[in-house]
Amino acid sequence: MTGVIPADYVHLLEAPNYGALGTIRPDDTVQVNPMWFEFDGHVLRFTHTTKRAKFRNLQHNPAMSLSVMDPDDPFRYLEARGRLIAVEPDPTGAFYVRLGKRYGNAEQQPPADSADRVILVMEILTTTKQ
């Protein structure tokens, strides 16, 4: 899948940069929120809960888009467009902890809402860049 992502932009997904994740609400308006994420060279993974609007949005419409700005040049960015392909249970919050550590909190603990935690898996279909 990395062939969809320009080689000189892959580092934006590999580094612990924050992304702005967009989903489509049931009224067809867009919801965008900052998110932690992990890229494994093929898909993007996000921690979330089944109790929030973003989860409901993705159940209604699996389309999603992540925009990541280059922290060294905010006019340079990568947008990964794709769709939700899996929702994996994370009832211990282990993935949340892993992401917390990735983003600099060595002492990250599972959140209070761990019982409702899931991992959202995004297939990247296309990208745009600047």
Place of tokens 């995004």: 122
The CB density around residue 45, as the number of other CB atoms within 10 Å, is 20
Strands 43-49 and 38-39: antiparallel
Angle CA 81–83–48, to nearest 5: 105
Supply the pLDDT for residue 2: 56
Supply the pTM of this predicted model. Answer: 0.94
Alpha-carbon gap, residue 17 to 128, rounded angstroms? 17
Summarised one tens digit per residue, pLDDT across range 63-122 is 999 999 999 999 999 999 999 999 999 999 999 999 999 999 999 999 999 999 999 999
Find the mean pLDDT for residues 14-25. 98
Q: How confident is the model at residue 3 (pLDDT cuts 50, 70, 90)?
A: confident
Assign domain 2-129 to a CATH class.
mainly beta
Q: Which residue has the higher pLDDT, 122 or 1?
A: 122
Place 5 in a pLDDT band, splitting at 50, 70 and 90. Answer: very high
Over range 17-31, report the average pLDDT.
Answer: 97
Average model confidence (pLDDT) across the chain: 96
Residue from 10, 34, 11, 38 nearest 21 by CA: 34
For residue 63, give the nearest of 30, 88, 96 by alpha carbon. 30
CA-to-CA distance for 11 and 15, rounded, in angstroms? 6
Q: What does the pLDDT average to over 37-63?
A: 97
Average pLDDT over residues 15-22: 98
Mean pLDDT, residues 1-13: 88
Helical H segments across 1-130, by residue range? 10-14, 53-60, 94-102
Check if the beta carbon of residue 18 is closer than 8 Å to that of residue 34: yes
